Amino acid sequence: MKQTFAIAIGGAAGQGVATPGDIFAKIFSRRGLTLNAYNAYQSIIRGGHTLLTIRTGPEPVTNMGDRIDLLIPLNQDTMDRHLKLLTSGASCLYNADTIKPGVAADGVQLCPLPVSELADISRNKVAQNTLAIGAGLHMMGIGFPALEEVLREQFKKKGESVVAENIGVARAGYDYAARHFTAFPNPLPKTEKRYAVLSGNIAMAMGGAAAGVKFYCAYPMSPSTGVLHWMAAHARKAGIMVRQVEDEIGVINMAIGAAHAGVRAMCATSGGGFALMSEGLGMSAMIETPVVVIDCQRAGPSTGVPTKTEQGDLWQMLGAAFGDYPRVIAAPLDIADCFKLIPEMFNLVDRFQCPGLVLCDLLLSEGRLGVDPEDLDFNPVIDRGELITSVNGNGASDVIATNGGYKRYRITESGISPRAVPGVPGHIHTAATDEHMEDGVLISDEFTNPIKRRAMMEKRMRKVAGIEAAVAPPKLRGPRDAEVTLIGWGSTKGVIEEACEILNEQGICANQLQIRWLVPLHGEAILELLRNARHTIIVENNYSGQFARYLRSETSFVPDGNIRKYDGEPFMPHHIVEAVKEQLGGKTNLSVPVHEIMV
């Protein structure tokens, strides 16, 4: 089993849960530990209940895990909700002045901090948080200077006296823990590695910048807003035009306008905003102007649960906009992949001149992961496809000129027609959402023409084969002849991976097929991989098995069982492990694990 350590900090929104979280995350990552953070919260600015889980360790930590080692409740509500989750070996650090502990399980250490004795609470409103950080750090076996360094950075803008005050309070907590609490048996290790800690939203925004996105626009919508925030804050240094638009209809159309002028344009939203963008995607496909849209899925339908995760937008993506048209859909597998996928997606949509959809979800968008900075490559391959601009001296324009006039929608074998942008002499054309001929002239109005309509439809749809050839089919991870094959897509990669490890340790040989490219799906290749699988189970975060239905529609493949979760919270490894055992034991072929953490 992986050696990891998990802290959970809980309180009401506005009580300062985020700051201790950030401080711990910095200390861990600078110690060369990777980490995964997940914040369970609600759509409220003050009040409610927030629980931040940070899990760290020397090996890759890909999900929140099954166990809390240290619980820091900042209010009574958190104590009441979560003390019962702690098992032998865990500890709970709390303010003895304001919070009463409940009954803890055997082997759980209750660590009351006499906050008013240790700090001047009239001066420092978050003294309990700072004391708990200091105390917790001691119990993890980390030296105080690591905390001092981070506190200095955190408070330096507020002046030396605030820095000194906070270091003093943290020290008091650290020393108090040394005298009164039992430290965890294994001090947190240290490695020579260094990690960047970032959310999926930041990763996608940075991935966009790396891909050469020059135009980003959005309407704020949880959980996608983090992309807008990063873009807005870094726009000037990255040379990106960032606009906040009146609605998502405006967003998609503005992005397509910018893309049509020749820049790489991107936008992000969640399910509701994506619904408004639908007609725009059809335009992108019809005028063959590439654009990338990110959908950070949240629990639906409708306003749904804005702060909770789900993989419920797959069929919205597959069916977005009417008519048939080529599109690319991919779901990033983890936060590092959120970065890496964006340049790949832009290269595809630039080459094939169609919309590209990134199907992310709240779990990745707002979760945080320690990522090797080498994986944040700002010099990825950039392939803009057959683009004719006035500035790049693309030889394609000469070829076309000698072929007797430029035709924007020239019928080609690949279906790809060289794309000139406005401003280039000699390439004037109108890009129309009406069906048009090779030269852009409409065939929809005065004289429709079935022969020409068919030719244009086939031209566009020929790009589908090219897209499929440009993307690698998925691979099976683990032994080929495993007892059980777990199939997932997108953000469940890490948790399924860990469930497989646990199953293997328990003597059940498991392997994993994780899908990143949803369109193109590579149905034949998937069938080939699953043909000899002994027992197949699809794991996904939605009610109806959206991927299972999609896979069946494309391949006729029906799995032996399904594990689904649609309570707004992500899978924990043990949910999958227990469900697999249940299904292998023949008890059911549909498991819906119960989320035991009340958030």
Tell me the window of 11-19, 110-118, 204-212, 566-574 that interacts with other proteins (CB under 8 A). Answer: 204-212
The yes or no reply on residue 110 touching other proteins (CB under 8 A) is no
State the Cα–Cα distance between residues 133 and 52, nearest whole angstrom.
14
197, 231, 348, 563: residue in contact with other proteins (rule CB under 8 A): 197
Tell me the window of 161-169, 182-190, 429-437, 535-543 that interacts with other proteins (CB under 8 A). Answer: 429-437
> Is the bond leading into 520 cis (omega within 30 degrees of zero)?
yes
Q: Residue 587 phi/psi, 5° resolution?
A: -75, -35
- The CB-of-210 to other proteins minimum distance in angstroms stands at 7
> Do 203 and 178 touch, CB atoms closer than 8 A?
no
State the Cα–Cα distance between residues 299 and 222, nearest whole angstrom.
11
- In the complex with other proteins, the residue whose CB is nearer, 305 or 431, is 431
Dihedral sign of CA atoms 244, 245, 249, 252 in order: negative
5, 24, 215, 571: residue in contact with other proteins (rule CB under 8 A): 215
Say how many Å lie between the first and final Cα of the chain, rounded: 27
The yes or no reply on residue 318 touching other proteins (CB under 8 A) is no
192, 236, 402, 450: residue in contact with other proteins (rule CB under 8 A): 236
Distance of CA 45 to the CA centre of its chain: 23
- In the complex with other proteins, the residue whose CB is nearer, 427 or 522, is 427
83, 115, 227, 287: residue in contact with other proteins (rule CB under 8 A): 287
The yes or no reply on residue 376 touching other proteins (CB under 8 A) is yes
- In the complex with other proteins, the residue whose CB is nearer, 234 or 477, is 234
- In the complex with other proteins, the residue whose CB is nearer, 249 or 597, is 249
- The CB-of-422 to other proteins minimum distance in angstroms stands at 4
15, 29, 34, 269: residue in contact with other proteins (rule CB under 8 A): 29
- In the complex with other proteins, the residue whose CB is nearer, 254 or 357, is 254
Dihedral sign of CA atoms 133, 138, 142, 148 in order: positive
CB neighbours of residue 161 within 10 Å: 9
State the Cα–Cα distance between residues 448 and 471, nearest whole angstrom.
36
- The letter for the amino acid at 14 is G
- The letter for the amino acid at 246 is E
The yes or no reply on residue 162 touching other proteins (CB under 8 A) is no
4, 130, 253, 583: residue in contact with other proteins (rule CB under 8 A): 253
- In the complex with other proteins, the residue whose CB is nearer, 181 or 406, is 406
Tell me the window of 60-68, 98-106, 176-184, 235-243 that interacts with other proteins (CB under 8 A). Answer: 235-243
389, 541, 546, 583: residue in contact with other proteins (rule CB under 8 A): 389
β-strand 536-540 against 484-489: which pairing, if any?
Answer: parallel
Let me know how long the chain is: 599
92, 231, 277, 283: residue in contact with other proteins (rule CB under 8 A): 283
Residues contacting 446, CB < 8 A, separation 6+: none
The yes or no reply on residue 324 touching other proteins (CB under 8 A) is no
The yes or no reply on residue 428 touching other proteins (CB under 8 A) is yes
The yes or no reply on residue 168 touching other proteins (CB under 8 A) is no
β-strand 91-95 against 70-73: which pairing, if any?
Answer: parallel
Q: Residue 44 phi/psi, 5° resolution?
A: -150, 145
47, 301, 323, 423: residue in contact with other proteins (rule CB under 8 A): 423
- In the complex with other proteins, the residue whose CB is nearer, 377 or 524, is 377
The yes or no reply on residue 245 touching other proteins (CB under 8 A) is yes
CB neighbours of residue 365 within 10 Å: 31
Point out which residues pair with 72 in neighbouring strands.
Answer: 9
The yes or no reply on residue 238 touching other proteins (CB under 8 A) is yes
> Do 571 and 593 touch, CB atoms closer than 8 A?
yes
Q: Which of residues 390-419 bind other proteins (CB under 8 A)?
A: 391
Q: Which of residues 430-469 bind other proteins (CB under 8 A)?
A: 430-434, 439-442, 445-446
- The CB-of-572 to other proteins minimum distance in angstroms stands at 26
The yes or no reply on residue 235 touching other proteins (CB under 8 A) is yes
183, 275, 421, 455: residue in contact with other proteins (rule CB under 8 A): 421
- In the complex with other proteins, the residue whose CB is nearer, 159 or 423, is 423
DSSP letters of 439-506? TS-BSSSSS--HHHHHHHHHHHHTHHHHHHHHSPPP-EES-TT-SEEEEEEGGGHHHHHHHHHHHHHT
The yes or no reply on residue 152 touching other proteins (CB under 8 A) is no
The yes or no reply on residue 49 touching other proteins (CB under 8 A) is no
- In the complex with other proteins, the residue whose CB is nearer, 31 or 82, is 31
Number of residues that bind other proteins (CB under 8 A): 73
Q: Residue 276 phi/psi, 5° resolution?
A: -70, -25
Q: Which of 294, 236, 231, 289 is nearest to 260 (CA)?
A: 289
> Do 422 and 258 touch, CB atoms closer than 8 A?
no
Distance of CA 251 to the CA centre of its chain: 21
> Do 518 and 330 touch, CB atoms closer than 8 A?
yes
- Report the b/e string of 176-213 with b at 16+ CB within 10 A: bbeeebeebeeebeeeeeebbbbbbbbbbbbbbbbbbb
The yes or no reply on residue 157 touching other proteins (CB under 8 A) is no
> Do 64 and 19 touch, CB atoms closer than 8 A?
no
DSSP 373: G
35, 217, 231, 563: residue in contact with other proteins (rule CB under 8 A): 217
196, 529, 537, 599: residue in contact with other proteins (rule CB under 8 A): 196
71, 256, 362, 521: residue in contact with other proteins (rule CB under 8 A): 256
Tell me the window of 52-60, 90-98, 240-248, 357-365 that interacts with other proteins (CB under 8 A). Answer: 240-248
